[in-house]
Every structure is written in structure tokens, then in C-alpha cells.
């Protein structure tokens, strides 16, 4: 995909202040395969970055040793190797308090899945339940497969791209067969819902859309909706409307800002639309509410 790879040394993207930086896959040449595999050491410092960030590419991490934790979309997972984790484009993650981290890292863009488009859905599902526990037999099979991937990538022989795509397909399918870590989904959903509640409770975020909250947290709007609804029984859209209404009421009652200024403060560019929204949510116009609150 265009813009998902860069040459080595290209600065990362930072969309705006407060949003985790976005990293693109570094490739040695513009026409190189959008794929890399290696150990934490050979891939480089970003493979164990301790600051929250996100990617334009997929990352499969297979941890074979070390201590610390991996934080994915706010959920903290203490290391107890062997573990396999899939991080999809847009997810926010970082490593915390790690020591002696060992294992394999596989990086690839969406278009590298050209030969196996169904793997996109498998990867999306794997990204929703990031940590997968492996038994000893499965662990050894994964190690052999990853070692073969690394050797094929390192040799770069004729037809390497086709072989790498085939081996990656096997890795994705086998990972999708693994059982999820117990309580992984509820823990992650609870963390996402908790962060949404923290952000939505701040007056300065009253103008944010659901998409803006999802971007800040590092999840898709769909996943944010599922997590918040599971935790509260209500959708983020409902809670955002409630937060906007509450902030608008505060501004109308406690300040002398004009209605159009209040509208702008809570995310409405059209004052007329804001008046319709406010009446629908409260049963009274902004002016009527202000008069009832004793403010002229």
C-alpha cells in the first residue's frame, strides 16, 4: 500500500500532539519486498520500543524469552514465554520494563498478503485477542516455521517472495487455530472502555467525535463501540452526545458566551444544527435553558 513503507532513516509520522507516532516499514530500496523477519536484535530498537506507537503494517511477535510486559491497546500482558502476538495496523503498543527479550519479529504490509487475501480477516481477529499461549509441541512447530521464514528472507534466492508469502500464510493460519489466553478479550475491552470514560469526562474533549476518541486510544471505531457497549450497555455515540450536552449546559449557565460560541466549543460548526441538537437532547432551546438558569 502506498505510504506504508519508507527507506531507512525516514522520520516517523506524528499526526498531532497527544496522538502516538505512526511508524512505517523500513525497506532497503523502493522496489524491495514490504516484508522483514528477524530477531529482536536484528530488526532493531523499534522492535522493543518502550513508548506507545502504532504502525502502518502488520507485526507478528513470537517471544521465546525475557521478562517484562507488552502493552497492546491499553491492556498489559506480563511476559511468560512462549507467546505469540499479532499487532495490526493502527493498534497502539509498547514494551514495558523488559529485560533479555528474545524471539522473532515478522513485519509486513497489507499488500504483501496479495496471494492470500483471506488472511487479512484472520489477522484482524488475531489482533483482537493479542496474546496466545502455546504448548510445547506447538512451540517447537512455530520455532521451525519462523526459522525457515528467516532463512528464506536472509538468503533472498530467486522466487523468495512467493516462498515467503506461502510460509507467512501457514504461520497466520496456524496462529488462528490457537486458543485465546483466558479472559484476554474482557480485559482488553475493559481497558479500552476505561480509557474512553477517562477521556470523555474531560471538558476539553467535548468537541471530539467517536472516531477521534478511537484514534487517540488506538483502536477502530467499531472496536471502541463494542468495548464501551460491553462495559456500560451504551454506545460511545450516546455517551459523546451526553458529554456534549452537559458541557453545553455548563457553558450556557456559567458563562456569557454567545450561543454560536458555545456551539463551536462543543464541536458544532453550524449554530442552527447545534440548537436542534440541544433541543432534541434536553427538550428546550439553548436560549430557553440559559433563561431558566438565570443567565442573561
Domain limit, last residue, from 119, 147, 181: 181
Q: Are residues 194 and 161 in the same domain?
A: no
Q: Are residues 77 and 195 in the same domain?
A: no
Q: Does the pLDDT at position 139 exceed 70?
A: yes
Three-class HEC string of the chain? CCCCEECCCCCCECCCCCCCCEECEECCCCCCCCEEEEEHHHHCHHHHCCCCEEECCEEEEEEEEEEEEEEECCEEEECCCCEEEEECCCCCEEEEEEEEEEEEEEEECHHHHCCCCCHHHHHHHHHHCCCEECCHHHHHHHHHHHHHHHHHHHHCCCCHHHHHHHHHHHHHHHHHCCCECCCHHHHHHHHHHHHHHHHHCCHHHCCCCHHHHHHHHCCCHHHHHHHHHHHHCCCHHHHHHHHHHHHHHHHHHHCCCCHHHHHHHCCCCCHHHHHHHHHHHHCCCHHHHHHHCCCC
Q: Are residues 258 and 176 in the same domain?
A: no
Q: What is the pLDDT of residues 49-85, one digit of tens each?
A: 998 888 889 999 999 999 988 888 777 788 888 988 9
Residue 200 domain boundaries: 185-292
Band of residue 1 on the pLDDT scale cut at 50, 70, 90 = very low
Q: Are residues 18 and 125 in the same domain?
A: yes
Q: What is the pLDDT of residues 28-37, one digit of tens each?
A: 777 789 999 9
Domain limit, last residue, from 131, 161, 181: 181
Q: Are residues 177 and 197 in the same domain?
A: no
Q: Are residues 248 and 204 in the same domain?
A: yes
Q: Are residues 256 and 120 in the same domain?
A: no
Check residue 280 and give its pLDDT. Answer: 93
**Domain count of the chain?**
2
Q: Does the pLDDT at position 15 exceed 60?
A: no
| Mean pLDDT across 217-223 | 79
Check residue 62 and give its pLDDT. Answer: 95
Q: Are residues 165 and 218 in the same domain?
A: no
Q: Are residues 217 and 252 in the same domain?
A: yes
Q: Are residues 134 and 228 in the same domain?
A: no
Q: Are residues 132 and 146 in the same domain?
A: yes
CATH of the domain at 288: 1.10.10.60
Domain limit, last residue, from 142, 161, 181: 181
Range name among 1-5, 179-183, 291-295 with the lowest pLDDT average: 1-5
Mean per-residue pLDDT over the chain, rounded: 85
CATH of the domain at 64: 2.60.120.280
Q: Are residues 170 and 153 in the same domain?
A: yes
What percentage of the chain reaches a pLDDT higher than 90? Answer: 38
Amino acid at each position: 500500500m502506498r505510504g506504508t513503507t519508507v527507506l531507512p532513516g525516514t522520520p516517523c509520522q506524528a499526526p498531532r500532539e497527544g496522538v502516538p507516532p505512526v511508524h512505517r516499514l523500513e525497506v532497503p530500496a523502493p522496489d524491495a519486498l514490504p516484508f522483514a523477519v528477524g530477531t529482536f536484535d536484528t530488526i532493531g530498537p523499534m522492535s522493543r520500543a518502550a513508548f506507545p506507537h502504532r504502525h502502518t503494517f502488520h507485526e507478528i511477535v513470537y517471544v521465546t524469552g525475557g521478562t517484562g510486559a507488552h502493552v497492546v491497546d491499553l491492556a498489559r500482558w506480563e511476559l511468560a514465554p512462549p507467546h505469540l502476538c499479532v499487532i495490526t495496523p493502527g493498534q497502539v503498543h509498547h514494551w514495558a520494563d523488559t529485560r533479555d527479550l528474545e524471539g522473532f519479529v515478522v513485519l509486513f504490509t497489507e499488500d504483501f498478503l496479495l496471494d492470500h487475501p483471506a488472511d487479512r480477516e484472520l489477522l484482524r481477529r488475531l489482533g483482537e485477542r493479542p496474546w496466545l499461549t502455546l504448548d510445547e509441541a506447538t512451540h517447537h512447530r512455530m520455532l521451525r516455521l519462523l526459522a525457515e521464514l528467516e532463512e528464506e528472507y536472509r538468503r533472498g534466492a530467486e522466487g523468495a517472495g512467493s516462498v515467503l508469502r506461502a510460509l507467512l500464510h501457514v504461520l497466520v493460519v496456524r496462529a488462528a487455530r490457537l486458543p485465546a489466553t483466558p479472559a484476554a478479550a474482557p480485559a482488553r475491552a475493559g481497558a479500552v472502555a476505561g480509557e474512553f470514560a477517562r477521556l470523555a469526562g474531560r471538558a476539553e474533549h467535548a468537541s471530539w467525535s467517536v472516531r477521534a476518541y478511537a484514534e487517540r486510544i488506538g483502536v477502530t471505531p467499531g472496536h471502541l463501540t463494542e468495548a464501551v457497549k460491553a462495559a456500560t450497555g451504551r454506545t460511545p455515540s450516546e455517551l459523546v452526545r451526553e458529554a456534549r450536552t452537559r458541557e453545553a449546559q455548563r457553558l450556557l449557565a456559567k458563562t456569557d458566551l454567545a450561543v454560536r460560541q458555545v456551539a463551536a466549543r462543543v464541536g458544532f460548526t453550524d449554530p442552527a444544527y447545534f440548537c436542534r441538537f440541544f433541543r432534541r437532547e434536553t427538550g428546550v432551546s439553548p436560549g430557553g435553558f440559559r433563561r431558566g438558569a438565570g443567565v442573561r
